[in-house]
Structure 1
Amino acid sequence: MHELVGALRSYAWGSRTALARLCGRPVPSAHPEAELWFGAHPADPAHVKTAIGTTSLLEFVAANPHRELGSAAPEFGGKLPFLLKILAAEEPLSLQAHPSATQARAGFERENRARVPLDSPMRNYRDENHKPELVVALDRFEALAGFREPHRTVELFRALEVPELASYTEMLASQPDSAGLRTLFTTWITLPQPVLATLLPAVLDGCVRYLSGKGKRAFTLEARTALELAEAYPGDAGVLAALLLNRVTLEPGQGLFLDAGNLHAYLRGLGVEIMANSDNVLRGGLTPKHVDVPELLRVLDFEPIDLPIVLPEPAGDGSVRYRTPAPEFALRRFDLIEGSGQVPLTSAGPGIVLCTAGTVRLLQDGTELLVGRGAAAWISAADSDIRAQAVDGPAQVFCACLGAGN
């Protein structure tokens, strides 16, 4: 086991307080801090501290994939198949979806043939991998995720009482299924600017009127979110598209799983995120970055979904697990109490142990490693019998490892 130093990523939507506070650094930070990467992604790998120096986790695994990844090395091409992050969103992220494995391979090869540079801002596919992802809330976490059941969306539109919205309401009401959602979403995301300039303000005025009404309002969160998004991204068609999505609030400890094709946008909050080791993102709005509507439409899944919340399940070893179908990763959480003794970290390696509260002591074969809040450790497949112990109060750790069947 080795200390793992995360790679800090700064984006405009990040927080100047959340990551700094978590990691025990001065608040506020000099720049918005959005993500802390613990993984072996070529764009920004974490670094492993060893007795002879520091090296990137990417190079560390590549030097001896069998030792670090064990029997799973051939299946994943000798590479760590997941990326673990801490994500801190102060402002909304872009409206986006991720491709399936087949779509990612085809898109990557297509852009390679077109000789689009890997670092080009116009590039959609930076690798050939899909990107299923799971985020677990560390504090209250707000998001948009997946298309809402169409009948419910029709109820929302009618509740807003916007005459300019009537034809679009009937468009969905007459075909309340995935095909109807595709038609309406495509219509809105490609609206001519003069039409958008009339429709969007009318919808926003409807949201204001709705929120100012008396009595309990069934769509308060949806209306407020539309107004917040419009303030951050004025004139963006993605504000209309956001009205089609499930509005999700995660309480600490709850998770949200997103598979290929699920349109989503994280709005605000602090969470632990784990995903397949990919950086492929198709954006549909709410961003100054590259938006490729035809390619987004190619990968989107318009089938309505229920709220895709993942609740922790007792795993029988003192941890809770977050069950997903992803073969690349699995995530468990241990809540440790000082004085309760050493807790074995079942299936710890190959993987990453991330501390999100307190301080934990990791022990193995007479050696120990202290891991504080916001810090992590790399556990290779060759490491066995890793145990954890809370130090100076309660502690919380997340263990990221390979998914089911590995």
Structure 2
Amino acid sequence: MDRLQNTVRPYAWGSATAIPHLTGTEPTGEPQAELWMGAHPGAPSLVDRGTGPRSLADLIAADPDRELGPAVAARFGPQLPFLLKLLAADAPLSVQVHPDSDQAAAGYADEERRGVPRTAPERNYKDPHHKPELICALTPFEGLCGFRDPAEAADTLAALDLDSLKPYVDLLHAHPEEAALREVLTAVLTADRDEMAATVTEAAAASARLGGPHATYADLARHYPGDPGVLAAMLLNQVSLQPGEALYLGAGVPHAYLSGLGVEIMAASDNVLRCGLTPKHIDVPELLRIVRFDPATPAVLRPEASPDGEEVYDTPVHDFRLSRYVLAPGAPVRDLTLPTPQILLSAEGSPTVGNLPLGPGQSVFVPAGEPVELRGPGTVFRATALT
């Protein structure tokens, strides 16, 4: 197994203190938004097998059957199919959606055929893969996920008592519900930018006066003045996770993380379509094609314990599987050997993986089939793939 040397991504929305506090390191004064663990080409982890640091992506590409196991390599190709992160949000991320596998493959092929550079800001599909993801809270964690019942969204808008929002309120009371949500989101994203900016400013001021749940929208507008994503957010469910709780985000579900520290796992893809709270490119027609407008209450996941103490977050994809072990002092040694590749991340305490002690925020890569044992005390997250 290999201790991982991981890269911190300093996105502007990141917390300057959450990851340093977890890892026991000094803050740099700069935001530390994400700590990446895996073989994603954007920031692959490094390992040292006695000849100096080397990219985990290069090691896997050189011998995928050994590192991933034949079954994972056959299903996903010569690449680790998941990316594990620590994510620390101190400001809202963009409202976004991800395509399903067929949409991603078709969109990627179309942009390749049209010669859209992969680094172009207007490029929607960086690869032909879907991007399901799961966030598990380490601290209280706030987010937005999925469309609310249109009547509830209408009540939220109506409470602001603004003439500019009344047409949206009327639309949200129309039927069928999915068509009503589509019409309102389309109207918000295609409105005159200056007029929409004025509406958002008024809505933010009214939200601040009302307080309570509306305070979230005032905060969004503080970070993104005049952004139509503030109104888009009013169509979505607000979700609060307690430590240990998780949220699965499938294809087409609009979502945004607002604040908190969590362990995130996702398929190793870069395909994101944004619909607000961002200065980045928004392709409204493509976004509206991908978004699923069915209202639903988000399902908060709690781990299911197996007889050996592994607590599994059940999700409907094969690209990743996330679980955790919470080991008290003196707990039995756990055999974690699997025929699939693993990343083991310490979140608390002082566990030992094989002969490697791990502090909070430290992680190891375990090649497929390599014998590995876990000793406590501590909390360890286990990331792997299914075949």
TM range, normalised to the smaller chain? over 0.9
Q: Which amino acid aligns with 2:76?
A: F
Rounded to whole Å, the distance in 2 between the matches of 1:341 and 1:174 is 59
Partner amino acid for 2:298?
L
Unaligned runs of 5+ in 1: 212-219
Task: Flag as ranges the 4+ runs of structure 1 deviating above 6 A.
Answer: none
Task: Using the aligned pairs only, state the percent identity.
Answer: 45
Pairwise CA distance, 1:351: 1.1
User: Secondary structure, in 3 states, of the residue corresponding to 2:159?
Assistant: helix
| 1:145–1:308 Cα contact (<8 Å) kept | no
**CA shift in 2, pair 1:341/1:303, >3 Å:** same
Q: What is the SS of the residue equivalent to 1:60?
A: helix
RMSD across aligned positions (CA): 1.6
Aligned position for 2:13 = 13
1:388 corresponds to which letter in structure 2? L
Whole-Å separation in 2 of the counterparts to 1:196 and 1:257: 32
Q: Compute the displacement of 1:353 (Å).
A: 0.3
Equivalent position SS for 1:249: strand
Contact 1:348 1:400 in 2 (8 A): no
Q: Which residue of 2 aligns with 1:331?
A: 322
How far is 1:326 from its partner? 1.1
Per-residue deviation at 1:194?
A: 4.0
Aligned to 1:356: 347
User: 1:214 matched to which residue of 2?
Assistant: none
From the superposition, tell whether residues 66 and 285 of structure 1 become closer, same or farther in structure 2 (CA, over 3 Å): same
1:398 aligns with 2:377: no
Cross-structure match for 2:284: 293
Q: 1:100-119 counterparts in 2 under 5 A? A: 100-119=100-119
Report the counterpart of residue 59 of structure 2 in structure 1. Answer: 60
Q: Tell me the equivalent position of 1:161.
A: 161
For 2:375, the equivalent position in structure 1 comes to: 389
Corresponding residue of 2:202: 202
Aligned to 2:219: 228
Task: Tell me the CA shift for residue 13 of structure 1.
Answer: 0.5
Once the 2 structures are TM-superposed, how far is the Cα of residue 348 of structure 1 from its aligned partner?
7.7
1:204, distance to aligned residue in structure 2 (A): 2.5
Distance in 1 of aligned mates of 2:301 and 2:348: 21
Cα distance in 1, alignment partners of residues 328 and 293 from structure 2: 44
1:55-134 mapped onto 2 (5 Å cutoff) = 55-70=54-69, 71-134=71-134
In structure 2, how many angstroms separate the alpha carbons of the residues matched to 1:126 and 1:66? Answer: 26
Contact 1:348–1:399 (CA under 8 A) maintained in structure 2: no
Counterparts in 2 of 1:168-317, with a 5 A limit?
168-175=168-175, 177-211=177-211, 220-221=212-213, 223-317=214-308
Say if 2:38 is the partner of 1:39.
yes
- Whether 1:379 aligns to 2:355 is no
Q: TM-score, normalised by structure 2?
A: 0.96
CA distance in 2, matches of 1:132, 1:92: 20
Q: Which amino acid aligns with 2:195?
A: V
Residue pair 2:138, 2:244 contacting (<8 A) in 1 also = yes
CA distance in 2, matches of 1:315, 1:160: 48
**Match for residue 370 of structure 1 among 348, 357, 370:** 357
Q: Verify the 8 A CA contact 2:337 2:369 in the aligned structure 1.
A: no
Structure-2 change in CA distance of 1:348 and 1:48 (3 Å) = farther
Count of equivalent residues: 386
My pick for the range that moved more, 54-63 or 307-316, is: 307-316
Deviation at 1:116, TM superposition (A): 2.3
TM-score after normalising by structure 1: 0.91
In structure 2, stretches of 5+ residues that fail to align are none
